[in-house]
């Protein structure tokens, strides 16, 4: 559930269990959130209907301590859906156009639960874990790449040792699904760490090319078309053979910015809403190949759009250059 553990607050634990286990007799239970003082909203997800809060609560000795509270609206339960539509007050019309209309509805509380998680007392690490970093969209021109991004990448000592270990069979050799050994046009295909390989629903493989001079999309030109076509065609064949999944079920793409600067291609199940598949980060290999066929210098000239978190050093470089 979390990456930090505090000593168990045994006293509070015993007290609350005694209360929490019982039914809500009048006056029998003090709300665990009584006296909660909101400090700030750490983050939220409008899509998932969650919010992460940092606040203060008093512990059993009366001392004020940090708390993290996570609120998450619950999915609609299958068994009482018709009851939801008959709330009080009546649904209120908000908009109508043609056959479409929208209403605001306020179902009875017992049909509209919020799952609430309390972390108390919370450490600084808990708080940071849920603190959403603000995200900014960057428009990186070809010139920005040369003057800002490339010098930044070169100044960082991103270690690619783990990638080289894979390519040299010093690590994960038993996980390799397929290899084309050509030093210029070849690659290694293996399951991504995030895939447990237990079901096909979230299939996730990575093709890592043997050539070590391609940091990202920005380094690609038409001379790399044989490599890219090999990854596309042989990757598809290998996945069909090993997992009986065919190409119409696979999303094949590269990231820009990538998380490491050695060209690699992602293969994920189409049914899997994998992180990093959104249009501001993912570039379909099929589109990359076509763009290079149209213009060998496409990725040197193109203004690339991508998101950076507020704490990423590259964002500061763009700010320093007055570019965002």
Site for a copy of itself in 280-319 (CB under 8 A): 280, 282-284, 286-287, 290, 294-295, 298, 302-303, 305, 307
Q: How far is the CB of 184 from a copy of itself (least distance, A)?
A: 25
We find the least distance from the C-beta atom of residue 50 to a copy of itself, in angstroms, to be 8
Count of alpha carbons within 13 angstroms of residue 207, beta-carbon side:
31
Select the span of 144-152, 163-171, 180-188, 225-233 touching a copy of itself (CB under 8 A). Answer: 163-171
Task: Work out how close the CB of 225 gets to a copy of itself at its nearest, in angstroms, rounded to a whole number.
Answer: 15
Q: Is 87 in the site for a copy of itself (CB under 8 A)?
A: yes
Is 158 a binding residue for a copy of itself by CB under 8 A? The answer is no
86, 264, 266, 283: the catalytic one is 264
CB burial class (10 A; 0-12, 13-18, 19+) of residue 18?
Answer: exposed
Q: Tally the residues of the chain.
A: 324
Q: How far is the CB of 227 from a copy of itself (least distance, A)?
A: 19
Pick 171 or 214: Cβ nearer a copy of itself: 171
Give residues with Cβ within 8 angstroms of 96, minimum separation 6: 102
* 81 is a contact residue toward a copy of itself (CB under 8 A): yes
Cα distance between the two ends of the chain: 36
- Give CA–CA dist 265/284, Å, rounded: 9
Distance in angstroms (rounded) separating the CA atoms of residues 73 and 265: 36
Q: How far is Cα 105 from Cα 95, in angstroms, rounded to an integer?
A: 13
**Residue 96 sits in the site that holds a copy of itself (CB under 8 A):** yes
Give the contact letters, 198-217, x = binds to a copy of itself (CB under 8 A), - = no: -x-xx---------------
Q: Output 184 or 295, the one with its CB closest to a copy of itself.
A: 295
**Interface with a copy of itself, residue 278, by CB under 8 A:** yes
User: How far apart are the C-alpha atoms of 103 and 93, rounded to whole Å?
Assistant: 4
Query: Is-catalytic flag, 283?
Result: no
Q: What CA–CA distance (Å, rounded) separates 313 from 129?
A: 19
Residues within window 1-60 making contact with a copy of itself, judged by CB under 8 A: 1-2, 5-6, 8-9, 13, 16-17, 19-21, 24, 29, 31-33, 36, 38, 41, 44-51, 53
Cβ contact 97:56 at 8 Å: no
* Cα dihedral across residues 57, 59, 64, 67: positive or negative: negative
Per CB under 8 A, which of residues 215..234 are in contact with a copy of itself? none
Residues identified as active-site: 264
């Amino acid at each position: 559930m979390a990456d930090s553990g505090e000593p168990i607050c045994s006293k509070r634990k015993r007290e609350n269990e005694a209360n929490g286990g019982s039914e809500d007799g009048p006056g029998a239970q003090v709300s665990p959130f009584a006296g909660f003082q909101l400090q700030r909203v750490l983050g939220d997800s409008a899509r998932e209907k969650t919010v992460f809060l940092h606040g203060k609560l008093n512990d059993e000795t009366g001392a004020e301590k940090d708390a993290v509270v996570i609120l998450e609206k619950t999915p609609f339960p299958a068994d009482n859906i018709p009851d939801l539509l008959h709330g009080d007050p009546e649904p209120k019309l908000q908009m109508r156009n043609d056959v479409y209309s929208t209403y605001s509805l306020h179902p009875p509380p017992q049909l509209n639960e919020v799952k609430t998680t309390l972390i108390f007392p919370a450490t600084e690490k808990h708080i940071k874990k849920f603190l959403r970093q603000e995200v900014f969209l960057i428009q990186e021109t070809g010139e920005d790449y040369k003057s800002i991004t490339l010098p930044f990448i070169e100044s960082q000592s991103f270690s690619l040792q783990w990638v080289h270990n894979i390519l040299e069979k010093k690590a994960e050799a038993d996980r390799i699904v397929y290899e084309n050994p050509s030093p210029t046009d070849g690659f290694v295909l293996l399951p991504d760490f995030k895939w447990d390989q237990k079901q096909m629903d979230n299939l996730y493989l990575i093709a890592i090319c043997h050539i070590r001079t391609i940091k990202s999309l920005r380094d690609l030109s038409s001379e790399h078309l044989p490599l890219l076509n090999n990854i596309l065609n042989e990757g598809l064949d290998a996945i069909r053979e090993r997992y009986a999944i065919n190409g119409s079920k696979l999303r094949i793409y590269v990231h820009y910015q990538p998380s490491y600067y050695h060209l690699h291609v992602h293969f994920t199940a189409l049914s899997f809403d994998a992180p990093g598949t959104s249009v501001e980060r993912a570039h379909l290999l099929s589109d990359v190949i076509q763009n290079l066929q149209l213009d060998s210098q496409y990725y040197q000239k193109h203004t690339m759009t991508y998101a950076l978190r507020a704490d990423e050093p590259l964002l500061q470089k763009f700010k320093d250059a007055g570019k965002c």
